[in-house]
Structure 1
Amino acid sequence: MKRTIATAKPLCDAVGIEMQLHDGLREINYGDWEGKTVEEVKKDYEEDYINWLTEPAWNAPTNGGETSVEIASRSSLVIAEIQEKYKSGNVLVVSHKATIRILLCSLLGIDLGRYRYRIGALAASVSIVKFDVRGPLLEVLGDRSYMDENLRNLPGT
């Protein structure tokens, strides 16, 4: 959670609010793949890797990795807690790219196995979801207009 804390802390400090950490918003658990390059995973876990690429909703990274369904379940619990605690106003949620995309798919009724191909929320982007009596409404997706143009257009981010 070091990156999420580093992202959220300046805003929390600026507005004088205490940061709250929620395990349900952590990054995907990659199991045995943690710390390995894509090339190593392809070589050492070829079948599992292909299955995960094909259907991540139901296929997890080898030995302890998480499926998209598991990530959606844990992150949705955090959102439900936030909705219960804060009936109105704005709440900043900071997490990791895959977790955010999976959570957005879950909120919007998009197939969890297609999170990589349906939600284009890049690193350091801002998305805004409005909750009302009709449910969640995605108002902004993956905005990075606040960034310097050179940073905003870096490949792979």
Structure 2
Amino acid sequence: MGRARSITLTRHGRTSYNAAHRIQGWVDIPLDTVGLWQAKQTGEALRRLYVDHDGGRRQLVVASDLRRTQQTAHAFADPLGLEVHVDERFRERHFGEWEGRPVDELARDYPEDFRSWQLKQGGELKYGAEPRIHAGTRGVEALLDWAQRAGDDTDLFVFSHGALIECAVQVLFGMQKAYPDFVSLTSMNNAHWARLLPARLEDPSRWVLRDYNHGPAVADTDLWENPR
């Protein structure tokens, strides 16, 4: 059974909800002006780093069904003439009644549960949020499915969401078994990526984490949130 030569997991660019510190989840809003610029910078970086130097490699591009990820995916795929496949399994973790709410309001209205959520102790679950293990498991199932479809001559590029990527990586590597609180990884920044390479083992579900929360060089400057 073949599998992709690599997997690059990329979070979408900034939205107005990100800028306003609102919970997004399944709310389907587009990138803002800064997010479109971030997606362009990241698309260029991904092509330069992982495509342009090796013309013999193929690419397979998949995105969640929400607009912000598809816009980010197209910023990478369109200059290469690649199709963007859609898979709702890569959709963001659902946050139930908290979706669309500013975090400062949540902290004011639900101080104990909000603090519990920040500490990854599950306070948000009272309001219909999807458990982290569920989000991570569906993300891993989708990753392994598309990695098998890609085959060993293809690099897989997946465009998804911060919480989904974070949870999926922890489930993929079994971190949640040792630390069920899901605090082993930092959150992914906008338009940053993680990169996975196949482990040199017969088990096709085993991968090596090569990079995490990696971004273009400009992402380490003040321009990333305030391009001029």
TM-score bracket relative to the smaller structure: 0.7 to 0.9
What residue number does 1:65 align with? 129
Q: 2:181 is matched by which residue type in structure 1?
A: G
**CA–CA distance in structure 1, aligned partners of residues 223 and 191 of structure 2:** 10
Higher strand share: 2
Query: What is the number of residues matched between the two proteins?
Result: 152
Moved more, 132-141 or 65-74: 132-141
* Shift of residue 119, structure 1, vs aligned partner: 3.1
Gaps in structure 1 of 5+ consecutive residues:
none
AA in 2 matched with 1:37: P
Find 2:182's aligned residue among 105, 111, 114. Answer: 114
**Which residue does 1:141 correspond to in 2?**
212
- Look at both structures and tell me which one has the larger radius of gyration over its CA atoms: 2
1:24-71 CA-to-partner distances (Å, cap 9, x unmatched) read 111121111011111222233334333333335x55444321111111
Superposition TM-score, scaled by structure 2 size: 0.59
Identify unmatched segments of 5+ residues in structure 2: 1-65
Indicate if the aligned counterparts of 1:27 and 1:95 stay in contact, CA closer than 8 A: yes
Is 1:75 the counterpart of 2:147? The answer is no
Identity of aligned residues (%): 22
The TM-score with structure 1 as length reference comes to 0.82
The structural deviation recorded for 1:120 is 5.0
Task: Give the 3-state SS of the residue equivalent to 2:94 in structure 1.
Answer: coil
Bigger drift between 122-131 and 41-50 goes to: 41-50
CA RMSD of aligned residues (A): 2.4
Which residue of structure 1 aligns with residue 82 of structure 2? 17
Further displaced range: 78-87 or 59-68: 59-68
Map of 2:110 onto structure 1: 45
Q: Which has the higher contact order (CA 8 A, sep 6+)?
A: 2
